[in-house]
């Protein structure tokens, strides 16, 4: 279908400009309800600045438990560590559940696409998860981190290939890759193959090397990269937080580094390491097509005659119950 200019609706959408935001802030650690209220306020602030897409950090609801060891060493777990896990579990999010409903209301109230890191609980297992919401409040889906890093594996389960979505929205094709998943080249290739244009990268990594990686991925994928990290001071953690942090309440624990990068590796906003902030930038989706002219790593710049990637997106469940009844020998004989 053509409009008055002779362009198709899809072409008009592809050339659209809009404002996006990444939120750099601290949650109310281990307090889910107060964190959800803070999310609602921050999302409203971003929307008031014109943002139509708002990205929050990894594990924002309700904690990235930096510095905690949960009392675990090879061959032993402490009772104190088990209680720390219980506290973390209690502040996590059921999907679906009341916290998801609250986030859906936030997206609808602010009329934004909301992408946010949560700690999801599924029975006795926690997952580092990103949730996606539409401006009408619809819950779009989730991505579970497929590879927790180092000690994260003590407390987070592993996602599988069934939750690696890229959503086709009016703003563009949107997905998320969490923290050091971004150092899995094959995962990046899978996301590029799905046509990701708005590459959301919630993280807990404040290093300079992470910021360099965001520029690399934007160039490699010819996509907009929106990286959001927490900014924490010691005072943002509970007084009884069981980790060796500074005694100075103003000491910076996580410095942020959030940024928005265009398909040519240019910073449109950030990186910011100064404090809590909402970074915004105008997204010109025409830059994606301009960039594909000389680099499309899953298109004209690929060599499928040499390299190919197979992706298994089937859910991997530990217990499968089948409804079919196995016929007894008499039944089998009648149908023989």
Catalytic residue IDs: 58, 145, 179
- Which residues, 6 or more positions from 19, have their beta carbon under 8 angstroms from its beta carbon? 49, 50, 51, 52, 280, 281, 282, 283
270: helix, coil or strand?
Answer: strand
- Which residues, 6 or more positions from 138, have their beta carbon under 8 angstroms from its beta carbon? 104
Short-list 258, 181, 186, 265, CA closest to 223: 265
Instruction: Determine if the peptide bond prior to 232 is cis (ω within 30°).
Output: no
- Which residues, 6 or more positions from 331, have their beta carbon under 8 angstroms from its beta carbon? none
Stated as kind and residue range, the H or E segment containing 279 is strand 277-284
* Token pair belonging to 36: 């959800």
- Which residues, 6 or more positions from 188, have their beta carbon under 8 angstroms from its beta carbon? 177, 182, 217, 220, 221
Question: What residues are paired with 260 via a beta bridge?
Answer: 226, 269
Per-residue CA distances from 300 to 6, 10, 56, 264, 293 (Å): 28, 22, 34, 18, 9
93-94 and 113-122: which strand pairing?
parallel
Separation of alpha carbons 195 and 270, rounded Å: 25
């Amino acid at each position: 279908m053509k409009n008055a200019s002779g362009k198709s609706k899809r072409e008009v959408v592809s050339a659209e400009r809009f404002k996006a935001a990444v939120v750099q802030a601290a949650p109310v650690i281990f307090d889910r309800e107060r964190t959800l209220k803070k999310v609602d306020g921050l999302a409203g602030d971003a929307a008031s600045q014109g943002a139509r897409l708002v990205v929050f950090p990894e594990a924002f609801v309700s904690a990235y438990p930096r510095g905690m060891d949960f009392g675990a060493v090879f061959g032993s777990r402490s009772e104190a560590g088990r209680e720390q896990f219980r506290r973390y579990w209690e502040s996590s999010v059921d999907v679906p559940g009341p916290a998801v409903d609250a986030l859906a209301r936030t997206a609808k109230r602010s009329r934004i696409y909301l992408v946010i890191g949560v700690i999801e609980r599924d029975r006795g297992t926690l997952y580092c998860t990103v949730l996606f919401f539409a401006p009408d409040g619809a819950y779009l889906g989730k991505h579970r981190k497929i590879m927790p890093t180092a000690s994260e594996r003590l407390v987070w389960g592993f996602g599988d290939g069934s939750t690696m979505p890229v959503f086709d929205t009016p703003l563009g094709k949107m997905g998320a890759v969490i923290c050091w998943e971004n150092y899995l080249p094959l995962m990046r290739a899978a996301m590029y193959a799905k046509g990701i244009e708005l590459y959301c990268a919630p993280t807990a990594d404040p290093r300079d090397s992470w910021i360099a990686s965001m520029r690399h991925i934007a160039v490699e994928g010819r996509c907009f990269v929106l990286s959001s990290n927490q900014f924490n001071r010691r005072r943002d953690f509970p007084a009884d937080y069981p980790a060796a942090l500074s005694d100075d309440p103003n000491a910076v624990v996580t410095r942020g580094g959030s940024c928005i990068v265009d398909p040519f590796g240019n910073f449109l906003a950030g990186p910011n390491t100064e404090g809590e902030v909402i970074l915004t930038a105008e997204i010109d989706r025409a830059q994606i097509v301009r960039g594909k002219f000389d680099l499309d790593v899953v298109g004209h710049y690929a060599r499928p005659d040499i390299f190919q990637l197979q992706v298994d997106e089937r859910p991997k469940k530990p217990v499968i119950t089948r409804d079919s009844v196995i016929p007894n020998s008499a039944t089998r004989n009648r149908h023989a």
